[in-house]
Structure 1
Amino acid sequence: MTAELDWVLEQFASVVDDIESEYTLASGDPVQVERIDRDNSRLLEQDVRSIRGDLQDANYVGATHVETVRDPVGTEYDASREVVVGVRVTGLTSAEYGHIDSEGNEGIPFDNGTDGLVNRLKDALWNERTWPDAGPGPSVYYKHLELQNEANQSEQWADFYRADWDVVFNGYEEL
């Protein structure tokens, strides 16, 4: 696990808590959202049919380290640093015993305006986009982050929801 991946998952903690306190299922139970380190879990890497049972228990947001790029800067031993962390959000509609409901009555909307699960997760990252404290130590600092390569693949299935995007950290490393 990288410091950047840990940081991304930590930003989602308050969103998870808020959703559990604001939304309920038809049964009255709170809507669950689980954070997953995709580098150490195969849960979000499986076929839709094989994770259907897991999605009946919770929505999932996972993060994985994609790449780290270092390029020399100037005449010192410093480098510009770019780290990419991939994020994937998955859920199942409440009609199929999941935690997603477009109206918000029996689950949380997936990407319906500012109240949707996807937008809340993105907002948690955007709130820290300038000088994010995500570096692995004092020799690495980031000036900003960007969200790129956004892909909402929910329209491919009737009851399964999925959105992916990359979090790109840009900064410097003093070697």
Structure 2
Amino acid sequence: MSSEVTWVLDQFASVATTVSNNYTLASGDPVQLERVNRDESRILDQPPGDIQGELQTGVFVGATHVDTVRDPIGTEYDADREVVVGVRVTGLTHREYGHIDPSGQNGIPFDDADSAGIVQRLKDALLAERTWPAAGPADVSYTHLELQNEANTSQQYADTFRADWDVVFSGHEEL
């Protein structure tokens, strides 16, 4: 797993805790946010043997390494470095036993104008650390990150919600 993917998923840990403390389902159970390393296909908070992978068990946020670009700078071996991590959020509406509810009564809103939705909370967790994110290996210093290529494709599905975006880390690597 790349250190950038680990860093992105670590930023989502506090969101998972906040969501489970503040939102409940009609049954009274807490809303679950499951963090998934899409490079290894496992949920981080559970042992690999316990993974169901069903949207009825929670909202899933996954991260995967997409690309690394190194451009040499100067006369030495140093490089400008850019790493792209893809993020995908997927959930099922409460009408189909899922954890997403636009009203917030029987689950968490997915993406709304009030910034209470799970998508905006996840983006805010990343943007809170947008300058000098400590996401790279020891020989890399990132100066900033950006969110790009945002796509909410929820309207394409009846009861499934989905949003994707890229986290682009930019910085310097000393080789």
Please report the TM-score for the alignment, with normalisation by the length of structure 1.
Answer: 0.92
Given that 2:66 and 2:86 are in contact with CA atoms closer than 8 Å, whether structure 1 keeps it comes out as yes
Q: Which residue of 1 aligns with 2:46?
A: none
Q: Which residue of 2 aligns with 1:73?
A: 73
Given that 2:62 and 2:87 are in contact with CA atoms closer than 8 Å, whether structure 1 keeps it comes out as yes
Q: CA deviation at 1:53?
A: 7.3
Higher share of residues assigned helix: 1
Give the alignment of 1:82-121 within 5 angstroms: 82-113=82-113, 114-121=115-122
Q: Which residue of 1 aligns with 2:48?
A: none
Identity of aligned residues (%): 69
CA distance in 1, matches of 2:42, 2:161: 18
Runs of 4+ in structure 1 deviating by more than 3 angstroms, as ranges, are: none
Q: Deviations over 1:53-91 (max 9, x none)?
A: 701111100000001100001111100000000000000
Tell me how large the CA RMSD over aligned residues is: 1.4
SS at match of 1:56: helix
Which structure 1 residue ranges, 5 or more long, are not aligned?
44-51
SS at match of 2:57: coil
Letter in 2 for 1:15: V
Letter in 2 for 1:76: E
CA distance in 2, matches of 1:53, 1:61: 12
Given that 2:36 and 2:42 are in contact with CA atoms closer than 8 Å, whether structure 1 keeps it comes out as no
Q: Deviations over 1:81-114 (max 9, x none)?
A: 0000000000000000000000000000000131
Q: Which residue of 2 aligns with 1:10?
A: 10
Q: How many residues align?
A: 166
Please report the TM-score for the alignment, with normalisation by the length of structure 2.
Answer: 0.92
1:34 matched to 2:34? The reply is yes
Q: Which residue of 1 aligns with 2:161?
A: 161
CA distance in 2, matches of 1:136, 1:110: 33
